[in-house]
Structure 1
Amino acid sequence: MTATPNTVILDQVLALTTLFSADMARSDNELGLTPSRTHLLWMLQTGGPQTQRSLAEAMSVSPRNVTGLVDALVETGFVTRETHPSDRRAVLVTLTSTGATTMSRMHADHEQLADDLLRDLSPERRERFAADVATVTATLAKLIAAHEAER
């Protein structure tokens, strides 16, 4: 069967996704993390200390799931649980110095990878590529939402 131009592009995107996933898994493994734990750390890095409830909502997972993630991150020294300053029933999850250093390094690695990947594209091609990726991402999100609505 002959591939159409669109399926060739889709296959390239899937290959890129596979490479990114493998690279992220390697990086997470080196740090003793999982994708879910890394996601939680990124949320703390970008949003500051948060309650477990707000983390669960933002990650679209159950509070019990977040409790397990936070337990593991506390045990490995990436986060702490601290008393909420205005709600004595709530607990804030906060990056430790180890967690903050790790996330700073991940951010720097992220920036370097972006520079390395896009180095050979002119500013105009980067702008067009960003717009095209945004369009494809939005279309995929709509297709997924429509599929979910049908179920």
Structure 2
Amino acid sequence: MPAPLLLDRLLQIADLFQRDMAREYEGTALSPARMAVLWTVHHAGPSPQHAIAEALDVTPRNITALVDALEGAGFVERLPHPTDRRTRLVGLTADGVSVMSRTTREHEALNATLLDAVDEADRQRVEAGLAAIAERLSAMVAEASASASTSASASASASATERTT
């Protein structure tokens, strides 16, 4: 039987993280998508919904539903923008800050536990290798997305040209 490829291991790790998150959020008002919103606001501070949607690469409508659910669960609140009356900001409530503080501590502990699995002499190389893989994959995804957008635009232009001729 051939040894697993690096990609196989990365997919295994991704699956394990997904299962762990599902277990962690079971019976709560949280989900991976809702946590992504909380992480974004936690790191950026109170933000307009359109900025959160852009950061997460989802539609504004999707963010509205996520923020509505998080607001209903008491994790975020909509706040007035200090200079633009038309814009509302999404900020963490005290419960949201508490969840993010606990989650940050849990991430730090899990990070330490996972790194303990790697020989101390190899940790810096492992971290550098994973960073390089993440950068390469990010670039590949961005390139594929740009290519798909270009193809979709070309198709739309061709269809419009056919309709007008």
TM-score, length-normalised on structure 2? 0.81
Sequence identity percentage: 39
| 5+ long unaligned stretches in structure 1 | none
Separation (CA, whole Å) in 2 of partners of 1:12 and 1:145: 23
Report which stretch shifted further, 20-29 or 100-109: 20-29
Show the counterpart of 2:112. Answer: 115
Report which stretch shifted further, 83-92 or 119-128: 119-128
Show the counterpart of 1:18. Answer: 15
Q: Is 1:48 the equivalent of 2:45? A: yes
Q: Which runs of 4+ in 1 moved over 6 A?
A: none
Show the counterpart of 1:38. Answer: 35
Show the counterpart of 1:103. Answer: 100
RMSD: 1.8
Please state how far the C-alpha of 1:21 moved relative to its aligned partner: 1.1
Instruction: Tell me the matched-pair count.
Output: 148
* Partner secondary structure for residue 121 of structure 1: coil
Please state how far the C-alpha of 1:138 moved relative to its aligned partner: 2.2
Please state how far the C-alpha of 1:134 moved relative to its aligned partner: 1.5
- CA-to-aligned-CA distance 1:78-116 (integer Å, 9 cap, x gap): 000111111000001110000100010000000000011
Native 8 Å contact 1:28 1:38 kept in 2? no
Give the letter aligned to residue 72 of structure 1: A
Give the letter aligned to residue 38 of structure 2: L
Counterpart of 1:9 (choices 6, 11, 15) is: 6
Structure possessing the higher radius of gyration over alpha carbons: 2
TM-score, length-normalised on structure 1? 0.88
Show the counterpart of 2:57. Answer: 60
Please state how far the C-alpha of 1:143 moved relative to its aligned partner: 3.1
Q: Is 1:135 the equivalent of 2:128? A: no
Give the letter aligned to residue 118 of structure 1: L
Please state how far the C-alpha of 1:69 moved relative to its aligned partner: 0.7
Please state how far the C-alpha of 1:33 moved relative to its aligned partner: 0.9
Give the letter aligned to residue 23 of structure 1: D
Summarize the Cα distance change of 1:127–1:50 in structure 2 as closer, same or farther, 3 Å threshold: same
Separation (CA, whole Å) in 2 of partners of 1:86 and 1:20: 40
Summarize the Cα distance change of 1:122–1:96 in structure 2 as closer, same or farther, 3 Å threshold: same
Separation (CA, whole Å) in 1 of partners of 2:30 and 2:53: 18
Please state how far the C-alpha of 1:67 moved relative to its aligned partner: 0.8
